[in-house]
Amino acid sequence: MKLLRLAPENTKFPFMRFRRVSYPMSAALSIMAVLLFVFVHMNFGIDFAGGTVIELRAKGGSAEVGTLRAIAEKLSLGDVEVQAFGSQADATLRFGLQPGGDVAQQAAVERVRNAVENDYDVRRVEVVGPRVSGELVQSGTLGVVLSIIAVLGYLWFRFEWQFAISAVIATMHDLLLTVGFFALTQLEFNTTSIAAILTIVGYSLNETVVVLDRIREMMRKYKKMSTAQIIDMSINAVLPRTIMTATTVFLALLSLAIFGGQVIRSFSFAMIWGIVVATYSSVFICSPMLIYLGLRNEDGERAGASAEEEAEKIEKPKKAAAPAPAKPGPARASGKKTKPSTA
């Protein structure tokens, strides 16, 4: 089992010392992500930009979705969706708008016809608009906002208000950096990308709650330690678990990115980026925020105050007591003669 441990146990890494570096860096990356979204924009896929749908029927046997997808990828049509529908012989091929306007779009349709005419009959060609309408986008955004508010209320009730606000700030940080990742890399943003963002939100909250729960446990156990020391101890305690979880998910997503094909490419790369960002934010964004929000170990404060009061009560009687008389020393010599005492 020691060979499978990715992090040593009982580490004492001072994570809170780096909060003065992590916060400016994260703020700069978040601002950059917003600027990329506003000025560079994202590469919206068929679901948002529209495209062309070609309905096909196999001349003999059933429609091979994998074969059709391979043919479409060779034609360099960009984002392509191939789906089976109806009977086993029917399939639809959907690709996005081509650069060059209507002429380029019609040329793409002809290339598809020529590529599949030996095995398939083209039954219908139709230009469609965006499948994800503005109303659906608004509803999805409202759902995400309401879910974050619900999480905020749950964490506020389950922990303290500082924990809830820290978790929401870390989650918003992960969302901004993921959107900036899409704008920077120009990966196609489609419905699978929305699924990736929602999955990243869930993973980020899970990692954050694990760290926060250990911090609360340590605060109850070590009542006289400072908040920064408790946070460092808590993060080091869950560090092996955090690294093991992130590595396991990363390897699974890496396999999807390499062997999953074009269909889930944007989902896989977005999730890989999100796992890294969520692990980072749970340690360097959420946890230090507790210090900035003024989280204090109240039990420890009361214990420390009572100890000081007891010490003052002990010290006060000592100060009020009169000093003890000095021991008599040898008699000083004087000019007067003294009569010797008689027994």
How much is the pTM? 0.73
DSSP calls for 274-331 = HHHHHHHHHHHTHHHHHHHTT---HHHHHHHHHHHHHHHHHHHHHHHSPPPPPPP-PP
CA distance linking residue 120 with residue 91, whole number of Å: 10
Domain with CATH 3.30.70.3400 in the chain: 51-128
> Does 45 score more than 80 pLDDT?
no
Mean pLDDT of the chain: 79
Instruction: Count H helices and E strands in the chain, helices first.
Output: 11, 6
Q: What is the tens place of the pLDDT at every residue in 260-307? A: 777 788 889 999 999 999 999 999 999 888 888 887 765 544 444 443
Question: 327 pLDDT exceeds 70?
Answer: no
**In this predicted model, which residue has the larger pLDDT, 25 or 54?**
25
Per-residue pLDDT tens over the stretch 225-243: 888 888 999 999 888 888 8
Determine the topology of domain 15-43+133-292 in CATH.
Multidrug efflux transporter AcrB transmembrane fold (1.20.1640)
Q: Given pLDDT bands bounded at 50, 70 and 90, which one contains residue 88?
A: confident
In the chain, residues under CATH classification 1.20.1640.10 are: 15-43+133-292
More confident residue, 129 or 156: 156
Query: What Cα–Cα distance (Å) separates residue 90 from each residue in 73, 79, 113, 225?
Result: 19, 20, 15, 68
* The CATH fold of domain 51-128: Alpha-Beta Plaits (3.30.70)
Residue percentage of the chain with pLDDT more than 70: 82
